Amino acid sequence: MSDPSVDDGVKTSAPAWADRAADRSRSVQRSRARSVEQAKVIVAAARRLLQTEGATLTTQELSKEAGIALQTFYRHFPSKDQLLLAVFEDFVSERLAELEAGARDLPDPVHRLRFYIEGVLRSVAEPGGVGQRFVTAEHWRLHQLFPVEMQQVNQPYADLIERELRAAAEAGSLRPNDPATDAWLVMKLVMSVVHHVAFAPMEDGADVIERVWAFCLSAFGGSASGGTRLGDRGAAVTKGR
């Protein structure tokens, strides 16, 4: 009988129990926690620099801003593009959390749906400078290089819209054709307006925002009186940082 500990030249993956044992290791847990914290520091530093540096941001500047060695950066992110994917995901997650918190007390799904659509548009109604233009330009470049990853970055917003569309349909307030597809189309419409505004600020932002909502409401079979206008509370909650 051959000794199973002898390497016969065939590479095999670690058994599941070995992975579980490693996960329970305190040293592994500490190392993972430390790595997560370092990654957060890097992403936070990137977000700060992107507001002023935009496309000129270098990994050397980033490592200095984050207070880490360049080698540490590359241990967490193989390239600047991988970092930008993380930055986009972090930004979208943060903004959606703000939107959900702001809509928590709104009375019905149509009100919340309007808040989610108008809120994103209102947050970029004013020109955002270098950072906003950079995000727009990089979004499409990254979408070409990493279409699956970028879809994953943006999908949570579509999921948020879909949830309210389904709730409104159940309540009899709206009649979406296909909530998942309709939500995806809303996401693309909102993104297009946001990206347009980054380079061509709206002369009458409030009117454009109202028209976008009216267009969506009509598409969902809702009445012109559905929803409420976003007041100061909504504008404050959704204002970009």
- Side chain identity, residue 148: V
Backbone angles phi and psi of 217, in degrees to 5: -60, -45
Q: How far apart are CA 199 and CA 182, in angstroms?
A: 27
Look-up of token digits 């050397």: 60
**49-76 residues labelled b (16+ CB within 10 A) or e (exposed):** bbeebbeebeeeebbebbebeeebbeeb
The SS3 of residue 187 is: helix
What pLDDT digit, counting tens, does each position of 54-83 carry?
767 888 999 999 999 999 999 889 988 999
What pLDDT digit, counting tens, does each position of 90-105 carry?
989 999 999 999 999 9
Q: What is this structure's pTM? A: 0.77
Among 71-80, 153-162, 180-189, 218-227, the least confident range? 218-227
